[in-house]
């Protein structure tokens, strides 16, 4: 029964977010992480200075994961995770340090993940733990 509800919700979401692949991918990523036991504590966290943004911050057991979500309609132009270049990694680290400091989480208890979403039917999601 719940599977039917999820499929219906996916259809409605696809229609309402037509053309906004990033938001759609983040919604799939959020559900994917929760389905694997993670506790999502923030979405689209931005530093006050505007120097960085983190798509999803989630506890994976005792580790605080900073998750960058990359979404593509197809892999025709490369895998989604290939878009996380060195500059993007540096901006993520700035934002992650800010979040960890504010939350009082030791840096040793954190990691950086990439969640790759390809919007096929059904969507294909790949979780790269400790990506960088």
Contact 44, 53 (CB under 8 A): yes
Residue 54: φ, ψ to 5°: -120, 125
Residue 49: its pLDDT value, please?
87
Rounded to two decimals, what is the model's pTM? 0.83
Residue 8: its pLDDT value, please?
60
CATH code, 20-128: 3.40.1350.10
Q: Which two tokens stand for residue 20?
A: 């906004």
Task: Indicate the domain borders of the chain.
Answer: 20-128
Residue 126 β-bridge partners: 116
CA-to-CA distance for 117 and 104, rounded, in angstroms?
31
CA torsion sign for 61, 62, 63, 65 is: positive
Instruction: Calculate the CA 105 to chain-centre distance.
Output: 20
Mean pLDDT of each 10-residue bin along the chain, 132 residues long: 62 57 92 97 93 95 98 89 93 96 97 96 93 93
């Amino acid at each position: 029964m719940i599977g039917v509800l999820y499929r219906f919700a996916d259809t409605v979401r696809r229609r309402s977010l037509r053309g906004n692949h990033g938001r759609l991918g983040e919604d799939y990523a959020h559900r994917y992480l929760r389905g694997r036991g993670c506790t999502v504590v923030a979405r689209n966290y931005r530093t006050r200075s505007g120097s960085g943004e983190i798509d999803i911050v989630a506890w994976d057991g005792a580790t605080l994961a900073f998750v960058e979500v990359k979404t593509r309609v197809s892999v025709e132009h490369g895998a989604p995770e290939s878009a996380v270049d060195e500059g993007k990694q540096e901006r993520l680290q700035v934002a992650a340090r800010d979040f960890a400091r504010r939350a009082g989480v030791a840096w040793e208890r954190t990691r950086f993940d990439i969640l790759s979403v390809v919007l096929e039917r059904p969507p294909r999601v790949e979780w790269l733990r400790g990506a960088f």
